[in-house]
Amino acid sequence: MSEPGRKILVSLRVNGSDIECAIVPSKTLLEVLREDLGLTGTKHGCELGHCGACTVLIDGQPTLACLTLTLECEGREIRTIEGLAGDGELHPLQQAFVETGAAQCGYCTGGILMTASALLERKADPSDQEIRSALAGNLCRCTGYVKIIDAVALAARRMNGAA
Amino acid sequence: MDDLRRVSTATNPDSEAYGFTPDRPVTTIAIPAPPTRPEKPEGLSVVGKSLPKVDAYVKVTGSLKYADDIVLARTVFGRMVRSPHAHARIERVNVERARALPGVVAVVTGDEIPVLYGHLPSSPDETALAIDKVRYVGEPVVAVIAEDELTAEEALELVEVEYEPLDSVMSIEDGLRDDLNKIHEDSRKRANIHKEVHLEFGPVAEGFAGADRIFEDEYFFDGNTHAPLEQHSVLANCELDGKITIWSSTQNPHYLHRVMASVLGMPASRLRIVACPVGGGFGAKTDVFNHEVVAAYASRKLGRPVKFTLTREEVFYAHRGRHPVLMKLRTGVLRDGTITAVKLDTWLDGGAFSSYGVASTYYTGALLPVTYKIPAFTFNGVRVFTNKPPCGPKRGHGTPQPRFAFECQLDKIADELGLDAAEYRRRIAVEPYSTTANQLRITSCGLDQCIEAVNTRGGYSAKHGKLPYGKGIGIAASAYITGAGMPIYRNAMPHSGAIVKVDRSGGVTVFCGVSDCGQGSTHMLATVVAEALGVDIMDVQVFMADTDLTPVDLGSYSSRVTFMAGNAARYAAESVREKLAAVAGPKLGIPPERCGFARRRVFDRDDPGHGLPLLEVFQLAEAHYGTLAGVGSYTPPEGIKGDFKGAGVGPSPAYTYSACVAEVDVDAETGEVRVERIVLAHDCGRALNPAVVEGQIEGSVYMALGEILMERSEYRGDLHKYPNLLEYKTLMSVDMPVIETIIIETDDIEGPYGAKEVGQGALLPVIPAVANAVADAVGVRINANPLTPWAVLKALEEKRTASKAGHASGAASREGAELP
Ligand code: FES
Ligand code: FES
């Protein structure tokens, strides 16, 4: 057994790139993303699984990075907010968040966008209630969720070619 | 200004309506004449449009750097040992074992940084780390700095602190009792009293004597916390030349700069504060925090960057949240509801330190007369120290508590006098361009329009008292300041400054010391400057909140940013614009005054087709004048403040007004209150960006609903019951009702393009509107928040018992609340 605190090598696939890095095995995915990979777009509001700020996608599933051990992520597809936009184009959700004013302080925004993007993958045309339920684990202290919900609905309509 | 009318309350016919005249000389307050629209003659092209925020792109892509996102090479990480006792003497501190742990680079104890500080210069009582005694569970005692956070964490366990526990003071009632330990032993005040305020305006005794009815009720507003999503974070870096840069999640870089210079004993010029974009503030990050001071101190000691990021639990201990306030409210009215006098007594549970407490105490009284006509007003406020994390300013600072009490009592008055509560409120609403009993100057005022708008949209008058049992509708209204009229330390300098620079590239840069805590200050500055210069909003670069780069602004507190920094930026841009017009006019063959600026063009306002590209004008002007920049400052006008002790809290260059209608569904079986619909109208003067204004209103509604339904800082014995985001209940997306916002524009003559505030005022009426709706739904008035299922069931039970015993339904008061 390796000493605690002693770094080991892991291979991760983050936002489509293969990355090899040496990490302390006890580190959470949140810590590795932010501290070892410099991907600070993933935020923390509690590090206890209560707020949703750290949500990333693992194999397409919204996952709390603060509760995920990095070692569990080997061989899986990790996507963070930095990987949401493609080819210099904002994701329709990002575009809708910009236009509706859904990001106030912006601290919850990354986690909410990742959660919402998984929702729209699963359900192209979610109802208001489905949007609210999907986001029920993401705390936002600024917006009252109103413009966030509007933005998700707007992005869904656009992705369906309806707007 | 020569367009000022002199108006004095002594000649205000309202104050003589009850057959008495004011018994004390009233200062004459300068009231500006009603406005002409404060806009550009050529019309507005940026202001009033819901353009995407200029900083929205960095937020949605995750690229905006908050304090904890900044890393520097060789950064070391700090953690703090915190007190497990609410009140104890520190007998012995031994840090040797922690210091010896490999990886630990420094251990800091209280005696190393002994300078007392406090946000208000009048009440410095904090030190960076506790010395001699601890005053709340969670108070920092020793700081450990290590190569990584894990090692720092481990070292915390190795610090030995021996305490001699003292009796704790955990309530207002305890704090007023003489026989208990003093939390601050050197205080000359009785018991644990921190601040006492007694004020009287107008003929109070005559007012009550002349009243047909006097209503007297007790209310309790429980404490709660901001819980910004971002945990506080600071990075301090002392360069080898001794200059320290501090990046912090602070709302108030200027005050932090001042305090830090004094605590570290170094010239402010050798300290640079950068307020990073704040991940939610709501007042949480307006004070100077222990971790900020320790980080700077340790960085100087080590010559390395030092970072502290609080855990969520620590954020609950840093607090500075809503004061629990006990209130006794007495209101005299004539038969038709006209108010003759008001007496308000408040007791604030301040927690362990002063923080903003002196101001908080005044604020529980100062703004009460700004909403309705109150000819005579007396106010007594007492703030006590308790062994809890310090309270401070949270959205609405000191005013949601009395607003809750007053609006609930007003509802009861309307009920008992058989008045329609909406029409009643309109009848007694303050008038634009008037003066309050406590000598506050009201200018633009859309209160009447707000109440009318929410009543029309929300159908209050049509539905109130007519809905089936369990369904209810309530109304309330309120007023708030647009920026504190006085700075925190006495001085005659501007409250805000801005520099605007333009150059041959076509780009415009604005520098302003204000911080952005998510409310949109960055976008506001870009809007105001783009409007003045006629550029596209994305042409404007905004540099904010950096004490080396930007002119002083007092900070993101008291809803002052749009009005004060907005005006400063507007003046700065207008001074550049004058130079641009001076070169463009001759080129266009028109007088410079006729130049219009919009859509990246300078044109003849009388013949808009005749114009020049703005870029060309920038270049002509730079060739003519050399480097182009303008400065602007904002200082609140003279004459907005009374002449009594304590008059410094309450005055503001403008007040905003709000009204709210709430509809609720109350389950009488479970006690659950579900808010179904909120209609909120807010007079923000002018919406510089309607989408941002709506967002602020929606966020205010959200936070207010938390305060009336569930959020509470509760203690079990000496311990915070749930310092985490799971058990500290807040509303999530599934809990939010429909929110309809109505923006009322009154074009304030002194505001930038007519704008006033929106970030805080809109929170105020929501809390009592919900309480009044619950009273309508199930017939009980609950005089304390939050309206949890238990509180509702208890009130219903009390009502049943009372009606069995043959009493009229009484007000449910707080359990065990005994007024001193
Ligand atoms: S930081 Fe992961 S849920 Fe809060
Ligand atoms: S925008 Fe600030 S927490 Fe959601």
User: Residue A120: inside a domain, yes or no?
Assistant: yes
Residue in the block written with tokens 């333009």 = B502
> Which of A83, A104, A125 corresponds to the end of one domain?
A83
A141 Cβ inside 6 Å of ligand 2: yes
Beta strand pairing status for B540-544 and B508-512? parallel
* CA–CA distance, B560 with B805 (Å, rounded to integer): 53
Q: What are phi and psi of B202, to 5 degrees?
A: 75, 180
Instruction: Specify whether A15 is located in the same domain as A75.
Output: yes
Instruction: Specify whether A28 is located in the same domain as A50.
Output: yes
Of B71, B702, B725, the CB nearest to A51: B725
| A/B interface, count of CB pairs below 8 Å | 179
Instruction: Specify whether A79 is located in the same domain as A15.
Output: yes
Which of B269-283, B416-430, B633-647 has the lowest average pLDDT? B633-647
Domain that holds residue A108: 92-159
B573 has pLDDT over 60: yes
In 3-state terms chain A splits into helix, strand, coil percentages (rounded to 5) of: 40, 20, 45
User: Residue A3: inside a domain, yes or no?
Assistant: no
The pLDDT of residue B28 is 39
In which band, very low, low, confident or very high, does the pLDDT at B720 lie, cut at 50, 70 and 90?
very high
The pLDDT of residue B237 is 98
Question: In the structure encoding, which two tokens stand for residue B22, read together?
Answer: 């004011």
Written as one string, the DSSP assignment of B330-347 is: EEEE-TT--EEEEEEEEE
**Choice between B13 and B480, residue whose per-residue pLDDT is larger:** B480
Of B69, B278, B519, the CB nearest to A40: B69
pLDDT in tens, B138-190: 999 999 999 999 999 999 999 999 999 999 999 999 999 987 689 999 999 99
Which of A150-159, B13-22, B210-219 has the lowest average pLDDT? B13-22
* Nearest residue to B546 (alpha-carbon basis) of B508, B574, B510, B570: B510
Of B517, B730, B734, the CB nearest to A105: B517
The pLDDT of residue A87 is 81
B814 has pLDDT over 50: no
Helix residue ranges per DSSP H, B9-148 = 56-60, 96-100
Q: Mean of the pLDDT values across residues B272-292?
A: 98
B19 has pLDDT over 60: no
> Which of A49, A83, A117 corresponds to the end of one domain?
A83
* CA–CA distance, B614 with B596 (Å, rounded to integer): 11
* CA–CA distance, B391 with B224 (Å, rounded to integer): 9
Q: What are phi and psi of A158, to 5 degrees?
A: -65, -40
CATH number at residue A29: 3.10.20.30
Record: contact B725-A80, CB cut-off 8 A: no
The pLDDT of residue B170 is 97
The pLDDT of residue B192 is 97
By percentage, how much of chain B surpasses pLDDT 70?
Answer: 93
Instruction: Specify whether A56 is located in the same domain as A20.
Output: yes
Q: Which fold would CATH assign to domain B56-63+494-634?
A: Aldehyde Oxidoreductase; domain 4 (3.30.365)
What single-letter DSSP state applies at residue B461?
Answer: H
What separation in Å is there between the alpha carbon of B655 and the centre of ligand 2?
26
* CA–CA distance, B758 with B356 (Å, rounded to integer): 22
B7 has pLDDT over 90: no
pLDDT in tens, B31-50: 444 445 556 888 999 999 99
Helix residue ranges per DSSP H, B539-627 = 566-588, 614-625
Round the average pLDDT of chain B to a whole number and report it.
93
In which band, very low, low, confident or very high, does the pLDDT at B815 lie, cut at 50, 70 and 90?
very low
Q: Is B279 in the A-facing interface, judged by CB distances under 8 Å?
A: yes
Instruction: Specify whether A58 is located in the same domain as A104.
Output: no
The pLDDT of residue B16 is 30
For chain A, what is the domain count?
2
ipTM confidence score: 0.97
Record: contact B59-A103, CB cut-off 8 A: yes
Instruction: Specify whether A114 is located in the same domain as A63.
Output: no
**Choice between A3 and B355, residue whose per-residue pLDDT is larger:** B355
CATH number at residue A145: 1.10.150.120
A90 has pLDDT over 60: yes
B105 has pLDDT over 60: yes
B27 has pLDDT over 80: no
Q: Which long-range contacts (CB under 8 A, 24 or more apart) does B8-15 make?
A: B8/B435, B9/B435, B9/B437, B9/B439, B12/B434, B12/B435, B14/B373, B14/B375, B15/B202, B15/B375, B15/B437
B648 Cβ inside 6 Å of ligand 2: no
CB B251, CB B555: distance < 8 Å: yes
Domain ranges of chain B: 56-63+494-634, 67-166+232-309
Angle at B310 between CA B307 and CA B312, to 5 degrees: 155
Ligand 2 atom nearest to B230, measured from its CA: 3
CB B784, CB B768: distance < 8 Å: no
In which band, very low, low, confident or very high, does the pLDDT at A86 lie, cut at 50, 70 and 90?
confident
The pLDDT of residue B4 is 33
The pLDDT of residue B29 is 44
User: Residue A21: inside a domain, yes or no?
Assistant: yes
* CA–CA distance, B260 with B442 (Å, rounded to integer): 36
B12 has pLDDT over 50: no
Q: Is B55 in the A-facing interface, judged by CB distances under 8 Å?
A: yes
In single-letter form, the type of residue at position B462 comes to A
Specify the CATH number of the domain B67-166+232-309: 3.90.1170.50
